[in-house]
A and B are shown apart, each in its own frame.
Chain A
Amino acid sequence: MRLLLAFLRRDILIAASYRLSFAFMLAGGLITLTVFYFLARTMGETALLRERYGADYFSFALVGVAVASCLRAMQTSFAGRLREAQTDGSLEVLLAAPHSTFRVIASLAAYPVATAFLRAVGLIALGWWLFGADLHLEPFSFTVTLGLALLAFGALGLLSAAFVLTFKRGDPFTYALDTATYLLAGVVYPVEVLPEALQWAAKLLPATHALSALRASALKGQGLSEVAPSLLVLALFSLALWPLAALALTLARRHVERAGTLPHA
């Protein structure tokens, strides 16, 4: 915990040294909300969304955008921060400390993940308060689902970090998965409007199940028992991906220590 707090403290201090960063983040959030608000007004009431999700388009998109940004942070921050540490030369110093590779990489990503989480909470709060989003949040079910979704995406993030540690380049699979998530998983439009073949493809993405369950909890107030099928799928993703991620990270560290490429950018 002390390690995590040390990284968080350092990264908050660095972020605070860029004085306008918070203002830009707030402005970005407001612009996003405004765009979706007027888009929703243009579209008007949609039967599909009302029947399937119990909400208007603005509320539907609000949950989608907020949650997707959190999941994306989990999926990309480990590799992103690792790559930064490779290029600024700090990775060697960090890995020379008496901690496992996992702890160091997880701590490196703590700040961007925490920021994305706060941003998502802020978006939902502003969307509800300023733009009148129609939310019926079931907090327990929402929290459990979000936790399971972040767990599954954390494993994907660590797989990506293992790739970056080995090859010193961004992981193409992560970008492909990120693109597929935004195209198919129902972030800003419902999966039901996709052609049937793509709807099947969407079921292979963890984000589809996460968004479905989180919308059910946030928009229709559904409890754990109602979102259980999605939770089961997310748990299965985690069970399959975590051992793979742990193995990939161990092999990546061993590879760079054998090849002597740890200090290379």
Chain B
Amino acid sequence: MPEVEIRNLKKSYPPPFSWRWLVGKREAPREALAGVSFDIAPGEVVALIGPNGAGKSTLLRILTGLLLPSSGSARVAGLDVVEDRPRSRAVVGAALSEDRGLSSRLTVRQNLAFYAALFGLSQREAASRTAELAERLEAKALLERRVRTLSTGEKARVILVRALLHQPRVLLLDELTRSLDPGAAVRLRRQVAQEVAGSGAAVLFASHDLSEVEAIASRVVLLDRGHVVAFGPYQSVKPRADEVFAKPAEA
């Protein structure tokens, strides 16, 4: 049974309110996902690629339970992300692109303890899980530091630890390595791969970095304007990806 199951998922954003509605001039909804379907098996790492506005973040937010789809369905670990909320959120670990959310005045350990409690871990479980993950993800030296003193790369590492604290069955990452230098990005992506291999979680990560995709994804979903235009191993998707990325951006 797949750990992530997406069937004909559609999402249109309603147009923002305008006084022009009063004279009957209403903009059309903006289509972000136009019938997306694919599965991810337990322990599988799937990359989500596509140009800006392809619908990657929309898809990740729907799976996280932060956005309602217009139609279709999505299940994580057998739970429907709409019907089974908020239970479905308990099996998902997410690090989204605009994900800040760490209290800058607290230490990393204090922040992680808070998020562990948010996901129902006892203090003892939180402490042991934090120690384990910090050791494996090279974040041990960061634990007693205040978040405001961390670099971007260190924050990304902490956000990854936070997403993994409650042992999620599905891990969603939105351009986690975007702001990192190449060396830090390589280390972090290697650690994600190792962590996933150990935990058996299904991973869906959005990225613009094709070398990252090639390095850790077993399959790749290529999205363009809300459509899945290719899905398969990196080498089979790459020619189509080159075409999509070479196209000029739509006005």
B218: interface (CB < 8 Å) = no
Given contacts A96-B94, A254-B68, contact A260 B58 (CB under 8 A): yes
In the assembled complex, the CB of B83 is this many whole angstroms from the nearest CB of chain A, namely 14
A13: interface (CB < 8 Å) = yes
In the assembled complex, the CB of B201 is this many whole angstroms from the nearest CB of chain A, namely 16
Contact of B106 with A17 in the complex, beta carbons under 8 Å: yes
Interface string of A200-224 (1 = CB under 8 A from B): 0000000000000000000000000
B197: interface (CB < 8 Å) = no
Expressed in whole angstroms, the Cα–Cα distance for A22 and B101 within the complex equals: 25
Please name all residues of chain B whose beta carbon is closer than 8 Å to the beta carbon of A94 when the two chains form the complex: 101, 118
> Which residue in B14, B16, B103, B105 is a CB contact (below 8 Å) of A258?
B14
B90: interface (CB < 8 Å) = yes
> Which residue in B68, B89, B100 is a CB contact (below 8 Å) of A97?
B89
A226: interface (CB < 8 Å) = no
Expressed in whole angstroms, the Cα–Cα distance for A117 and B13 within the complex equals: 42
B231: interface (CB < 8 Å) = no
Interface residues of B in 41-76 (CB under 8 A from A): 58, 61, 64-68
Contact of B119 with A14 in the complex, beta carbons under 8 Å: no
B6: interface (CB < 8 Å) = no
Please name all residues of chain B whose beta carbon is closer than 8 Å to the beta carbon of A260 when the two chains form the complex: 13, 32, 58, 61, 67
Contact of B86 with A92 in the complex, beta carbons under 8 Å: no
Contact of B89 with A257 in the complex, beta carbons under 8 Å: no
Interface string of A3-38 (1 = CB under 8 A from B): 101110110011001100000000000000000000
In the assembled complex, the CB of A206 is this many whole angstroms from the nearest CB of chain B, namely 31
Number of interface residues of A (CB under 8 A): 30
> Which residue in A3, A14, A88, A262 is a CB contact (below 8 Å) of B117?
A3
A172: interface (CB < 8 Å) = no
In the assembled complex, the CB of A77 is this many whole angstroms from the nearest CB of chain B, namely 18
Please name all residues of chain A whose beta carbon is closer than 8 Å to the beta carbon of B90 when the two chains form the complex: 98
Please name all residues of chain B whose beta carbon is closer than 8 Å to the beta carbon of A92 when the two chains form the complex: 66, 96, 98-99, 101
Please name all residues of chain A whose beta carbon is closer than 8 Å to the beta carbon of B114 when the two chains form the complex: 6-7, 9-10
Contact of A96 with B65 in the complex, beta carbons under 8 Å: yes
Please name all residues of chain B whose beta carbon is closer than 8 Å to the beta carbon of A93 when the two chains form the complex: 99, 101, 115
Kindly report which residue of chain B lies nearest to residue A264, judged by CB atoms.
B98
Please name all residues of chain A whose beta carbon is closer than 8 Å to the beta carbon of B118 when the two chains form the complex: 3, 6, 94, 97, 99
Please name all residues of chain B whose beta carbon is closer than 8 Å to the beta carbon of A262 when the two chains form the complex: 61, 66-67
Please name all residues of chain A whose beta carbon is closer than 8 Å to the beta carbon of B99 when the two chains form the complex: 89, 92-93
Contact surface of A with B, Cβ cutoff 8 Å: 2-3, 5-7, 9-10, 13-14, 17-18, 88-90, 92-100, 254, 257-260, 262-263
Known: A6-B114, A14-B105, A258-B14. 7 other contacts (CB 8 A): A3-B118, A89-B100, A94-B101, A96-B65, A257-B68, A258-B68, A263-B66
